[in-house]
Structure 1
Amino acid sequence: MCLSFQNKYAFLKKVDSLESRSTKWECEKLEAVGDELDENGNRRTETLELWKRNPVECIKELMGNPEFHEHMKYAPEHLYCDPEGKQQLYENMSTGDWWWRMQENLPKGATIAPVILASDKTSLSRFSGDKSAWPVYLSIGNIDKSIRRKLSMHATVLIGYLPVSKLECFSKQHRALEGYCLFHRCMRALLAPLIAAGRNGVDMVCADGLVRRVYPILAAYIADHPEQCLIACCRENLCPKCCVARDQRGGTMRWPMRSVTEVCSILEAASQGASPVNFEKWGLRAVNPFWKDLPHADIFHSLTPDILHQLHKGVFKDHIVLWATACTEGGKLEVDRRFRAMPKHPELRHFKKGISLVSQWTGTEYKNMKKVFLGVLSGGAEEAVTRAVRAVLDFIYYAHFEVHSDDSLKQLEDAWNTFHRFKHVFVHLGIRSEFNIPKIHLMQHYVTSIRELGTADGYSTEGPECLYIEFAKMAYNFSNKKGYTSQMATWLQRQKAARRQDDYICWATAQDQITESQEDDDFDDGKSDSEPEDEQSPQASHKAPSQAEEEEQLANGFKIAKKPAYARAKVFELVKDFGAVDFTRCLEDRLHQLAGPSSRRRTGNMSLIIENSSVAVYTQFKVKLPHIPQVSLIPKTTMDTIHAHPAQAATAAHFSMVLAYDPASNHSTDSENPPGRHSRNSLTRAYALSEAMCYTAGISLDHATLPLVYVKWFTPFNTHDRVNGLYTLSRSTCQHRRFASIIPITDIICSCHLIPVWGTSMDRTWMSDTVVELCKKFYFNSYLRHHDFVEFQYLVDRDEL
């Protein structure tokens, strides 16, 4: 192959030579002198290694990366959702108030690079061992948050590994404090280049090719609660952002934010042996903070909301679930029964053993449990308990919005106030005696943080935790497990060099292809422009029919297989296997409707369909969910699968619940109502049928090109439960028979999920596969997806206000 290297050593030398233009790793030796004495009577010392990269150089690489050209902001902006400019929108950091305030404090023409830091200690060993790493990540708020969240875009970079040590050279009583001091000492050394750059600015070549004077300023720090307290130099039983009293964290009173100047003066006085009054009151620790010299930085405003640890794991899982379960009649056993009997849905995890026996929870389990928890609780607990749980769930869902307006922020704050209005029921029932819980108190800072720095989804700790896979665990696996930090840094350096080389090759190849294409356009091959293309040539048929059909389907909002699962299913088989008892009548009504009013006069009372008539039956299809900015900023095709599977030998039947337009509402003329907001949306059980059945009666319907769906209707969305706020519905019947009809596939909006109305105690005969048939009344689950929450909770509540 004529390689330029002959062995591994020579190959790695080649790779190392590729990284000449990027930021190099450096190792700084730190010495910790303890208070323990060795056998010679001398103080014990420990040498620690801080591996770091220059953060300013990393910011230069991010600012100048041409891949981010379309996703960069160089100045703050104001967005509004109304022509009058009364409803402000908050999404990326550029829409927040912090950037506008910083811009006024800097020289005219200055460009701010809002620095976003993240850190968290993680374990590297598997099953046993104490190997750990403490990575520190950096990104900038100029890059769109949707790009920052994509690991493949490498918009968040690793800038250092903090030393992890047990500090055995110190006595136990001083070991914890010295660990705090070591963290701030390392962070101060790591971020030292930001001091001069933040004060004077640095000329940088940006992604658009222009040179700007850039001021990198610490704007946000992503961390969980223990590390936030470590950063803020306070104890973990207090708020790291405000001056709330230790016994007042469970209230709604607003407390002033901590002041950087005041806290630094208190810490300096404490280090000199003084005893400031607020030192103990604010729960401070006597350390030298790394952020005191960073220009224009306010660390207390920079600590961002943590949806994963504060809301999902902390407030919801560790507190609300335990309290509400204890308040439910029947306790854990009743809650587990309801989780086991919950109807299934493809986007919902089924807890087949309940939730009390789950020993190890992840973020996925938290999210799936909260999708149905309000429905599980309804009927089994007091009204105040249900209202308190609903308020917490509403707060979590509002906090997930990717775009906030003044209205949605008001709803977010109202949910927080509603919880505090009903939380005392847990005291009355003897579940709690007080609510001095830091994570519950931190909920009051969400609105302020969103207005300052943009929506909370851009600062989730889920991102840094996913980065552990590449920057910590994979790098550790490629080391020999001894002196692994230096080997991890070297491995990451080589990985980046290979990635940059690969990007360059792709770019160069694309440029060559563009040049060749231009040359081909200039070359005259002798063919006349008017000469028709050969119909049998590959150029004329390069697009397969199936691809064209798929594009046409997506344009209509659905996607279905080319071949049906049952090509020639008999009508009596649909009645027997699919339970479509009124299929014949519904199909005849549909055929008469499509053929026109004169068709009934021609056929009279003659039946158009016989039991041996054949139709093609599909067992699933997909519909495109509408784009909702609160759910996703970037318009993307999100497909929702609709199932209609008959019972098999080892599996039960599965028919999806779907949200569909009621034909009686004449929805085709109502173009102003978006999907999901129609005045007569109804819930149905869906059976997907193909267009072939339109031809079995011998009637030619050229315009009937869309597949049809046989549905059994539920009652429309007219009433909702006054306690949990969920819409209630039941089966729609006519003369004691289920009301059914056949509708076009384009009338299907999306799949949905129903929660049975359990009552005080659940019927023990109900099971997950049979509860839909046995139960008579249901709740529409508006917490299944964020799409459903926006349509059936946020917009409804906003309109009522």
Structure 2
Amino acid sequence: MCKPEITRCPDGHFRRVIYGLGPYIADYMEQIVVTAIVQNWCNDLQDLYEGFNFRTREHARALAGVYSRKELWNHHGIISTITPFSDDFPRADIHELIAGDLLHQIIKGCFKEHLVDWVFAYILLEHGQTKGHEIWGQIDRRLAAVPTFPGLRPFHQGCDFKQWTGDDSKGLMKIFLPAVVDFIPPDMTRAIQYFMEFCYLVRRSIQTEDTVARITHCLERYHHYRQIFVTTGVRPDGFSSLPLQHSACHYPRHIRQFGAPNGLCSSITESKHIKAVKEPWRRSNKYKPLAQMLTTNQRTDKLAAARADFTERRMLQGTCLTEALQGFLSLALGEAEPDDSEDGPESEDQQGDGNIVEDGEDGDEDGAVEGPRVLGDVSLAKQPERTYPRTLPELGLHFGVPNLPSLVSSFLYDQTHPEPLTDGSPTPPCLPVQSIKVYHSAAATFYAPSDISGIGGMRRERIRATPSWFKGPARYDCVFAENDSTVEGFRGLHAARVRTFLSFKSGGVEYPCALIQWFSPVADEPDELTGLWVVEPDFDQDNRPFYGVIHLDSILRLAHLIPVFGNAILPPDFHQSESLDAFKTYYVNKYADHHAHEIAF
């Protein structure tokens, strides 16, 4: 194992960080050197120096003038040969300048390197090597069976990776709890649940005293329930020797001192360091490279500025020859200069089989978008499908929903009358409809500042309802539909699965809508163990899926449902496209992203 380094925590407490603990430790090298600490001293020194401010540079200098270098190291955790860069700043304390690192401390550290490994260790201790690996194989299959969701990393081979990235750890965190809940003790599930709540709360872009209080509460509950790892023999020596576990305790203070972390991690500055230092150094001849690096950065900045100017002047579109030919044709034909949107072959969004959304959408599953801030807006794809029937009865038979005309009739009644139909009322006659169109996708744009979003905090994702996704199995996504806007959380929402998107005209008004299958909660509260809502698909008296037609304005955004696996044994060839049809109940995954966590609690 590598030699330990003595460093000091941002709060002035002391601990020893050992570089051999995991790959994420390398990201702390600079922080360790300038701030850094002695293991297991944290609580002892807090009691020993109660009321004494031992974090000041004056105190460190006084100690350095009295003790030898070895005594400073052994008794005070001070490296006398290292001077922090902020030592000459009149009002700067290096220990007050170091903020938390969500990615490396919490996600890759506490979650992946600790909780996931501890769960695996518990399964092996409890069931033995042979049975334990069989159970972990089932967990891998459950991870692979999770339905597709934008931005969710697929785990087709489970979580057996040789090299984990930050995205892998984030993706596993989103779906880990439903996969392991049936194989671990209740207190272990609760420990993971409260840790997940802590992670998602500290990640929010807006922090209040209420959220900080909730963060503190989650930490307290997590510290209480994680004792199950001690009693089961996974961590017989406790957690005092784990710096990353201790780092979570500093986040309430970090938030009050620095504001919302909102994804802050050392990789942000590290990526800038690569562009500004590492790459220019590689381009130099390595002899007195500083002047060469500065010249490289200056020239790179000038090239970037020139490219932006040339792009604005449209000088990078086409060639000199094509520009001359366009000008000649415009003069010869007496027409205006062709518009850019009409040039060239059809764009990527105009190709394909109906998986198209409105202008401006790229080919990604989701992404940040600019625009005015709205709570939510859903729009149909740019082009309809052309292979479907054009009458409601035929369309209903095609989708296996023979009562589609009556569903549309009830929908039109609700749209044209202030009061909805009461239960048990006869279905009103269907108004004449024209121009029936079918779509395979829609675009949901919503306000989600805690996730990667554009100016104004807006984000866009596609909702799919297609019989073949990338020439493979069908994909019918789930959505959140508005139920009661006066009620917060999932109590004010419905979960539904989109069967198809429609639009038609009636009375001179065009109605964009969706044919959906309803899901209902199995209880009035979230599941006590996981903290997730559990829903089940609705069926009519003939045991057929209960469908409805709703306006697109009722849809908020995508929802992610994960099966409640229970004691089910998944076969090796089970495909994730079957998950939403093969189980009786489902978790509403509020950990799918940070916006879902804010609305599906």
Cα deviation for residue 690 of structure 1 reads: 3.0
Alignment-derived partner of residue 388 in structure 1? 191
Where do 1:57-68 residues align within 5 Å? none
Distance in 2 (CA, whole Å) between partners of 1:281 and 1:625 is 55
Partner in structure 1 of residue 499 of structure 2? 687
1:342 equivalent in structure 2: 146
Query: What is the correspondence of 1:193-592 to structure 2 with a 5 Å cutoff?
Result: 224-234=27-37, 237=39, 243-245=42-44, 258-271=55-68, 275=71, 279-290=73-84, 291-328=86-123, 330-356=134-160, 358-433=161-236, 434-435=238-239, 436-457=241-262, 459-476=264-281, 478-479=283-284, 486-498=291-303, 557-566=377-386, 568-569=388-389, 574=395, 578-580=399-401, 582-592=403-413
In 2, Cα distance between the equivalents of 1:275 and 1:289? 17
Q: Which amino acid aligns with 1:303?
A: I
TM-score by length of structure 1 reads 0.56
Distance 2:218 2:454 in 1: 24
- Contact 1:338 / 1:762 at 8 angstroms: preserved in 2? no
- Name the larger-Rg structure: 1
Residues in 2 aligned to 1:655 and 1:630: alpha-carbon distance in whole angstroms: 24
What is the CA distance between 1:780 and its match in structure 2? 0.4
- Cα 1:368–1:274 shift into 2, 3 Å: closer
Query: SS of the residue aligned with 2:511?
Result: coil
- 8 A Cα contact 2:376 2:557, kept in partner: no
Deviation, 1:777, is 0.7
> For 2:520, what is the secondary structure of its paired residue?
coil
Shift of 1:607: 8.3
The secondary structure found in structure 2 opposite 1:316 is helix
Q: Is the 8 A contact 2:413 2:428 kept in 1?
A: no
The answer to whether the 8 Å contact 2:375/2:446 transfers is no
Partner of 2:583: 775
What's the CA shift for 1:227? 2.5
Change over 3 Å in CA distance of 1:500–1:353 after alignment to 2: closer
Q: Aligned pair 1:785/2:590, yes or no?
A: no
CA contact (8 A) 1:264 1:292 kept: no
Cα deviation, residue 650, structure 1: 4.2
Can you give the 5+ residue segments of structure 1 that lack an aligned partner in the other structure?
1-172, 181-222, 510-536, 695-699, 794-801
1:757 aligns with 2:564: yes
Q: Which runs of 5+ in 2 are unaligned?
A: 8-25, 124-131, 314-334, 343-357, 361-370
Partner in structure 1 of residue 529 of structure 2: 723
Write the distance in 2 (CA, Å) between the matches of 1:633 and 1:408.
24
Query: 1:595, 1:270 → 2: CA distance?
Result: 85
> Paired residue for 1:734?
540
Task: Measure, in 2, the Cα distance between the counterparts of 1:658 and 1:491.
Answer: 50
- What CA distance in whole angstroms lies between the structure 2 residues aligned with 1:487 and 1:579? 70
726-735 or 494-503, larger mean C-alpha shift: 494-503
TM-superposed deviation, 1:476: 4.4
In 2, Cα distance between the equivalents of 1:649 and 1:567?
Answer: 18
Q: CA deviation at 1:312?
A: 1.3
* Equivalent residue in structure 2 for 1:712, among 504, 507, 517: 517
| Contact 1:660–1:682 (Cα < 8 Å) also in 2 | yes
Instruction: Please state whether the residue corresponding to 2:515 is helix, strand or coil.
Output: strand
> Mean Cα displacement is larger for which, 259-268 or 307-316?
259-268
Structure 2 counterpart of 1:319, one-letter code:
H
Q: What is the percentage of aligned positions where both structures have the same residue?
A: 24
Deviations along 1:302-355, one digit per CA (max 9) or x if unpaired, are 111011111111111111111123335654212211111111112211100000
Q: 1:653 aligns with which of 460, 469, 474?
A: 474
Query: Which of 530, 540, 551 lines up with 1:744 in the alignment?
Result: 551
Aligned-partner Cα distance in 1 for 2:562–2:33: 43
Alignment of 1:50-129 (within 5 A): none
Asked if the contact 1:658/1:686 (under 8 Å) is kept, the reply is yes
Worse-superposed segment, 782-791 or 717-726: 717-726
Q: Please tell me whether the aligned partners of residues 376 and 444 of structure 2 are also in contact (alpha carbons under 8 angstroms).
A: no
Q: Secondary structure at the match of 1:733?
A: coil
Change beyond 3 A, Cα 1:588–1:467:
same
- Structure 2 distance, partners of 1:407, 1:347, is 29
Mark the CA change 1:233 to 1:685 in structure 2 (over 3 Å): closer, same or farther. Answer: closer
**What one-letter code is carried by the residue in structure 2 that aligns with 1:681?**
L
What letter corresponds to residue 447 of structure 2 in structure 1? P
SS of structure 2 residue aligned to 1:617: strand
Q: Which amino acid aligns with 1:654?
A: R
Q: CA offsets per residue over residues 419-457 of structure 1, 9 Å max, x none? A: 110111111221112212011111111111221122223
Q: For residue 155 of structure 2, what is the amino acid of its counterpart?
A: F
Does structure 1 conserve the Cα–Cα contact (< 8 Å) formed by 2:108 and 2:166?
Answer: yes
Distance 1:556 1:363, change over 3 A: closer
What code does the residue aligned with 2:74 have?
E
TM-aligned CA distance change 1:299 to 1:547, over 3 Å: closer
How far the C-alpha of 1:263 sits from its partner, in A, is: 2.5
- Equivalents in 1 of 2:51, 2:389: separation in Å? 67
For residue 708 of structure 1, report the CA deviation from its aligned partner: 1.2
Structure 1 pair 557/288, CA: closer, same or farther in 2 (3 Å)? closer
Is the partner of 1:335 in helix, strand or coil? helix
SS of residue paired to 1:738:
coil
Mark the CA change 1:705 to 1:373 in structure 2 (over 3 Å): closer, same or farther.
Answer: same
Q: Which residue type is aligned with residue 306 of structure 1?
A: D
Q: May I ask how many residue pairs the two structures share in their alignment?
A: 512
Paired position in structure 1 for 2:443: 622
